[in-house]
Structure 1
Amino acid sequence: MTYRVHLFRLLFSMEDDLFRIKKAERIEQLWKVNVVLIVAAIAIYFWMAFLGLGTERISGIAVTLSDTAYETSKLWFILGRALYAILFAAFILFFPSLLFYLLTGIPYQKLVIMQQVVLVVMLMERLLWIPLVIFVGLNWQVSPLSLGIIASYITEIPWVILFFGAITLFQLWIIWFQVKYISAFSEMKQYVMAINVILLHFLGWCLTALIAMGDSYILGGWFG
């Protein structure tokens, strides 16, 4: 049986598509969809950078730079965001798939399909960040859909706010989706699988907070 990847059908008719994926002996369009998603990630991060999201440090020192130096700084920032988008999309697609493959023995390609859906949802979340920043003035770590806004009332420690800011309704849906998807292929007890998925996301939230802090320091070193 051949299965052609249709991510939105998997999102909205999950049970039927899970059955088809489970029975499939051949997967078509997998790498084509991977490329499309990576290009989409580049486009979204490029757009965010073009709109000035995350350029606060550059804008803050604009008066000290010549016009050429300022435009060059913005260009490097946009190119850096495009490179980050490639690394981000590739990481989401392939690294968790490898971990779950080693843990469960589920065919790697079928796990990549799962991560394609995860990446779609994460890109949708990033699109939502744009109006929140532009029209409401809320950065991602204090989005009303995350726990970061609650953490910001409890503490002023940046890493803690960034960590809880990474925990969003989108992330909770992704955890549910991954547990349900993997459970359809694996005989591992569902609660054991849930613990493993949550642990992976916990590490991901820690890494997100560290990268966000590191990004701030790097920008400060380049443009400060």
Structure 2
Amino acid sequence: MTYHNNLLRFLFSMDDHLIRVKEAESIKRVWKVNVLLILLSLILYGYMAYLGMGTNLLSPQAQSLDLRAYEQQKFWFLAGRLIFGLLFAVFILFIPSLYFSLLTDIPYKKLIIMQQVVLFVLLVERAIWIPLAVFNGLDWYVSPVSFGIIASYFTEIPWLIYFFGAISLFQLWIIWFQVRYIRNLTEIKKQWVWGYVLLFHFFFWLLTALLAYMDQYMINRWFGQ
């Protein structure tokens, strides 16, 4: 049986497509969807940079720079965000797929399909950040759908706020989806699947918090005066 990969149809008819993926002997259009998602990530992160999301650390130095120097800073900021958007998409698509393929008997390509859904949902979450930032001035880690805003009431430690800000309702849905997907394709015990998924996400949240902290540091280092 050949499964023709279709991300949107998968989302709206999940039970049917889970059965088809399980029974599939070959899968078509995997790379086409990968490329489209990577392009979508580049566009989204580029647009966020164009709107100035994350440039709050550059603003204090703006008045002390001439126009040319400030435009150069904005260019390098945009370039950096585009590179980050590319690396983010590649990481989400391929690293978790490799991780789960090593722990289960599920073919790597079938796990890529799972991560395509995950990446799409994460990009939707980032699209929601845009109006929150533009109209409400909220950074991603204090989004109303994340736990960062709760953490900010109990601590002022940036790293902890970033960590809990990385845990959102979208992330909880992704965990549920990955467990369901993997359970459908393997006979591994349920508790082990939950353990594999939660362990990966715990390290993902740690990495996100570290990158957010380093992002603030690097912007200050490169663009600070």
TM-score normalised over the length of structure 2: 0.98
Residue identity opposite 2:98 in structure 1: L
Q: Indicate the residue corresponding to 2:68 in structure 1.
A: 68
Q: Indicate the residue corresponding to 1:92 in structure 2.
A: 92
Residue identity opposite 1:40 in structure 2: L
Distance 2:8 2:171 in 1: 18
Please say which of residues 112-121 and 11-20 is displaced more in the overlay: 11-20
Distance 1:60 1:114 in 2: 43
Residue identity opposite 2:70 in structure 1: Y
Q: Indicate the residue corresponding to 2:111 in structure 1.
A: 111
Q: Indicate the residue corresponding to 1:18 in structure 2.
A: 18
Deviations 1:158-207 (A, max 9, x none): 00000000000000000000000000011111121011101100100000
Distance 1:177 1:134 in 2: 30
Q: Indicate the residue corresponding to 1:167 in structure 2.
A: 167
Distance 1:138 1:90 in 2: 27
Q: Indicate the residue corresponding to 1:52 in structure 2.
A: 52
Structure 2 residue 183 is matched with structure 1 residue 183: yes
Distance 2:5 2:55 in 1: 37
Q: Secondary structure at the match of 2:170?
A: helix
Residue identity opposite 2:142 in structure 1: V
Residue identity opposite 1:177 in structure 2: F
Q: Deviation at 1:13?
A: 1.0
Q: Secondary structure at the match of 1:3?
A: strand
Equivalenced residues, count: 224
Q: Structure 1 unaligned runs (5+)?
A: none
Q: Deviation at 1:60?
A: 1.7
Q: Secondary structure at the match of 2:146?
A: coil
Q: Deviation at 1:105?
A: 1.9
Q: Secondary structure at the match of 1:150?
A: helix
Q: Indicate the residue corresponding to 1:30 in structure 2.
A: 30
How much is the aligned-residue C-alpha RMSD, in angstroms? 0.6
How many percent of aligned residue pairs carry the same amino acid?
58
Distance 1:151 1:179 in 2: 27
Q: Secondary structure at the match of 1:221?
A: helix
Q: Structure 2 unaligned runs (5+)?
A: none
Q: Indicate the residue corresponding to 1:80 in structure 2.
A: 80
Q: Secondary structure at the match of 1:56?
A: coil
Distance 1:59 1:39 in 2: 29
Structure 2 residue 218 is matched with structure 1 residue 213: no
Residue identity opposite 2:209 in structure 1: A
